[in-house]
Structure 1
């Protein structure tokens, strides 16, 4: 009959043995040390000066004194003396000084590797789509003495890696690489219709502003003459009209949002021209910004206005001494938001 158990090496009571309680008690001491094992530390090579009964330590390499020759063992103070338990591969002990678990790999004690967690909910419920879910007033990601980088990785260029911002679980803004490797920022008022505000080309780094209001318009034709003041010039053909804010039927641009807007008219004048030209906001001529035109000359007039949402801007004649005569297909009106 074996004298000790195979796994924990506990003594077995033998047939006809006297003082069976000694063997039994020794086995209980071993069980008491190894069930729910918690060691005080793992860096000692010698016993502490004033140990307490039941104290457990993982003996560090280079053990000396009463622990000599027991490197890696679990040292337990039992009945006033040190009991040494040789670990087997896979044994796990919580070390209070480290606030961590160590696992014996057959040679050394090493930190236990964290097992992968399929889902994690912090004050919230996680699922197989949102495997990490946090409900809190804030989430802090900080450095550990240096840099800190948050990585969002996607499989292919056609996939999406982004940050999505919602209101009531409905999308309102998104930034990232959505469907391409170019970076973009887009917004939505209802979670359905999205508008790109900023794009950055992946190959060149050149930024773009796809929704920035801009238009350019002409009126095809030859010479035209206007002989009445405060008359809007007609521009019925848009060569560019981002956002559709220029009305070719009225020749007016309507500001979609508040901001500073620039307007430019370029053209060519006849020698009979003797007039003034200006811009009008909501039908009111802006007399503080008016240009005098006389004789055959290039026409170029730039003005900047602060507009409110819905303000309408047209280009028109001001005071006329004679008339404004200009070549239509050579005259273009354009405008864009600058700030």
Structure 2
């Protein structure tokens, strides 16, 4: 079967029978990968009762139905499990932490945590207020944890 280079989506062939099957499979995979939203990151065992449309990032040592799909996006659909192999730079919204996770150098990485300034001998209230506002805004956007 011929597939696309980046996401491995199935391609149709001229004169191919039952094209709707391959077309629907490609749409199901696109639905998982584009603007991905995940329930959890790094799970090795599939949930017992997944809900259609829910998506997870598989851990490093998957078991059961996820065996062989380390670090993939795993989505439960009406037709069962579907997987998308991550590509460098791919991002997903992690519902649990309300932040972005990004795939880089073979790993899913959470947004960096930023600790607000505290203490110190010299206090500049305006600078601290500005930094606190900036940090809050970045957290609101999910760019940092």
| TM bucket normalised to smaller | 0.7 to 0.9
Q: Which runs of 5 or more structure 1 residues have no equivalent in the other structure?
A: 115-141, 153-161, 166-339
Q: CA deviation at 1:150?
A: 4.5
> For 1:100 and 1:6, how far apart are their aligned partners in 2?
28
SS in 2 for 1:43: strand
SS in 1 for 2:76: strand
Q: Which residue of structure 1 lines up, in the alignment, with residue 119 of structure 2?
A: 149
Instruction: Pick the structure with more strand per residue.
Output: 1
Q: Which residue of structure 2 lines up, in the alignment, with residue 44 of structure 1?
A: 43
2:62 matched to 1:88? Answer: no
Distance 1:150 1:31, change over 3 A: farther
Kindly report the root-mean-square deviation, in angstroms, between the aligned alpha carbons of the 2 structures.
2.7
> For 2:98 and 2:13, how far apart are their aligned partners in 1?
41
Q: Any idea what the Cα deviations from partners look like across 1:296-326, whole Å, max 9, x if unmatched? A: xxxxxxxxxxxxxxxxxxxxxxxxxxxxxxx
Q: Is the 8 A contact 1:3 1:11 kept in 2?
A: yes
Q: Is the 8 A contact 2:33 2:73 kept in 1?
A: no
2:17 matched to 1:6? Answer: no
Q: Which runs of 5 or more structure 2 residues have no equivalent in the other structure?
A: 127-145
> For 2:20 and 2:125, how far apart are their aligned partners in 1?
69
2:76 matched to 1:106? Answer: no
Instruction: Pick the structure with more helix per residue.
Output: 2
SS in 1 for 2:24: helix
Q: Any idea what the Cα deviations from partners look like across 1:16-56, whole Å, max 9, x if unmatched? A: 10001011111111111112110010132111111011110
Q: Which residue of structure 1 lines up, in the alignment, with residue 59 of structure 2?
A: 60
> For 1:164 and 1:85, how far apart are their aligned partners in 2?
48
Q: Which residue of structure 2 lines up, in the alignment, with residue 15 of structure 1?
A: 14
Flag the structure with larger Rg. Answer: 1
TM-score, normalised relative to structure 1? 0.34
How many residues of Structure 1 are paired with residues of Structure 2 in the alignment?
125
Q: Which residue of structure 2 lines up, in the alignment, with residue 35 of structure 1?
A: 34
| Runs of 4+ deviating beyond 6 Å | none
Distance 1:22 1:94, change over 3 A: same
> For 2:124 and 2:31, how far apart are their aligned partners in 1?
52
2:70 matched to 1:71? Answer: yes
Q: Which residue of structure 2 lines up, in the alignment, with residue 237 of structure 1?
A: none
> For 1:5 and 1:87, how far apart are their aligned partners in 2?
14
